[in-house]
Amino acid sequence: MSAPTADTAVLGATSEVGPLRTVLLHRPGAELRRLTPRNNDQLLFDGVPWVPRAQEEHDAFAAELTARGVEVLYLDRLLTEVLDTPAARAELVAAAVDDPRLGATLRRTAAAHLADLAPADLARALVGGVAHDELPGARGLSWELMDRTDFVVRPLPNLLFTRDSSVWVGDEVAVTSLAMPARHRESTITAAVYAHHPRFAGAEQLYDASLEHLEGGDVLLLAPGVVAVGVGERTTPGGAERLARRVFARGLAHTVLVVPIAQQRATMHLDTIATMVDVDAMVMYPAVADSLVAWTVTAGAGGADRMADDGTDLVVRGPAPFVTAAAAAMGIDRLRVIDTGLDPVTAEREQWDDGNNTLALAPRMAVAYERNTVTNAALEAAGIEVVRIAGSELGSGRGGPRCMSCPVTRDPLPPPQPPEA
């Protein structure tokens, strides 16, 4: 099991655009081969991707990061390493068979099979799933009545989008509570890696999967101390409130902006309509630029109490235009919104293809899908260096470069300089 090194032991992020040093990815594998026209909707994909091409695209994405000095950690490799730990193995096997479809007999059979696997084989089963006909010695009424193409342990194709199941706020990690049933086990895998892998020794967990629904794609670190949380299809108001109380109690933020977004597939997360590309700039879907609002949440007069954690009093003000509320919280004159100048049809197409879902590598440098040509041209016109990657197959799960990456370490931004006289 790999241990932390002196160069990589520091963990956490306080912004979306601080120079990226370490990132957590998941290379797509056998779990994507489980997708068929019969099950892709249930597993939250809009199509059946060509897996070898998706892997090529992901490898090229990782290569662009590595070429710019970013250390890439792979979730499946970390998972394999922690499965040498009995506690992690027991947790993940129990979670894999905690499914009311199975019944007691099949649950025991599946648990015994998984428990006997070597770490690498168990990691593949937990991520890629176990089909009806792949379980030796299976028996029980539930197994007999299953279709041969059904899964005893369902695959996790959305593990590709590592941003959703965890997000770092300061030096603590929020293991999130994913809303869709097809994704629930992703958080158990992420939690086990953070809890048991020596790379993350000592890291405190800010949130966990037992709490109100909160997904990492809805959490944007606008600036040190300022967190925006989208509330819509995946994250609930209760999740946003719980996160606010905890970041205040732990001194990780002074302001949380709660941003309602449409409850629909195309805008499932806040980062599908807006992402930061500079310390004072974001690219935003034009259709919402003038209508997006935010409630500003701060700690009450009594202040935040780490011992109370979830008991911190909140003050809620608003709503106000999002860009106005954000600038005020960030302590800047204005938040620049990059106007793509798109006609409505092109804007809708490029938003659907994750044109607004960029991953900042540093201030004024962002990774984006190459297919969104008009949005990328607008970014470059605004002084943003665009690192283009292919995503024709990766995008079938409705996620862009930001969705596919969980920053583990970003350098802090330098303090703002006073204006020249």
Report domain extents, the chain. Answer: 158-410
d(CA 332, CA 45): 39
Q: Is 344's pLDDT higher than 80? A: no
Q: Is 250's pLDDT higher than 60? A: yes
For 87, phi and psi rounded to 5 degrees?
-65, -45
Strand 71-74 relative to strand 219-223, pairing: unpaired
Among all residues, which ones are annotated catalytic? 403
What's the pLDDT score for residue 257? Answer: 98
Residues 6+ apart with CB under 8 A from 381: none
d(CA 142, CA 96): 16
Q: Is 312's pLDDT higher than 50? A: yes
For 338, phi and psi rounded to 5 degrees?
-75, 115
Token couple for 413: 């931004």
d(CA 138, CA 93): 16
Under DSSP, the state recorded for 83 is T
The pLDDT tens digits for 66-75 are 999 999 999 9
Q: Is 1's pLDDT higher than 90? A: no
> Given 3-state DSSP classes, what are the helix, strand and coil percentages for the chain, each rounded to the nearest 5?
40, 25, 40
The pLDDT tens digits for 152-194 are 999 999 899 999 999 999 999 999 999 888 788 999 999 999 9
What's the pLDDT score for residue 419? Answer: 42
What's the pLDDT score for residue 43? Answer: 64
pLDDT above 90 as % of the chain: 63
What's the pLDDT score for residue 263? Answer: 63
Q: Which is nearest to 165 in space by CA: 143, 147, 185?
A: 185
Residues 6+ apart with CB under 8 A from 82: 1, 88, 192, 193, 196, 197
Q: Which of 283-297, 304-318, 320-334, 395-409 has the highest mean pLDDT?
A: 320-334
CATH of domain 158-410: 3.75.10.10
d(CA 165, CA 176): 5
Per the model's pLDDT, the better-predicted residue between 8 and 296 turns out to be 296
Residues 6+ apart with CB under 8 A from 100: none
What's the pLDDT score for residue 421? Answer: 34
Confidence of residue 389 (pLDDT cuts 50, 70, 90): very high
The pLDDT tens digits for 13-66 are 999 999 999 999 999 998 888 877 777 767 666 677 788 899 999 999 999 999
What's the pLDDT score for residue 285? Answer: 83
Per the model's pLDDT, the better-predicted residue between 421 and 324 turns out to be 324
Q: Is 267's pLDDT higher than 90? A: no
d(CA 370, CA 394): 12
CA neighbours closer than 13 Å in the CB half-sphere of residue 364: 5
User: Are 237 and 264 in contact, with CB atoms under 8 Å apart?
Assistant: no
What's the pLDDT score for residue 4? Answer: 43
**Which residues does residue 242 pair with via DSSP β-bridges, in sequence order?**
none
Average pLDDT of 331-339?
A: 90
Helix (H) or strand (E) holding 344: helix 344-352
Residue 199: helix, strand or coil by DSSP? Answer: helix
What's the pLDDT score for residue 238? Answer: 95
- Looking at this protein, which amino acid is placed at residue 322? F
Token couple for 376: 């990328």
Q: Is 209's pLDDT higher than 80? A: yes
Average pLDDT of 344-368?
A: 75
Angle at 152 between CA 28 and CA 404, to 5 degrees: 20
Token couple for 47: 């199509």
What's the pLDDT score for residue 227? Answer: 97
The pLDDT tens digits for 122-162 are 999 999 999 888 888 888 898 888 888 888 999 999 899 99
- State the average pLDDT for the chain: 87
Residues 6+ apart with CB under 8 A from 405: 23, 24, 25, 65, 162, 163, 359
For 298, phi and psi rounded to 5 degrees?
-135, 170
Average pLDDT of 249-256?
A: 95
Angle at 391 between CA 47 and CA 268, to 5 degrees: 60
Average pLDDT of 77-84?
A: 97
Angle at 278 between CA 378 and CA 292, to 5 degrees: 75
CA 73 distance to own-chain centroid: 15
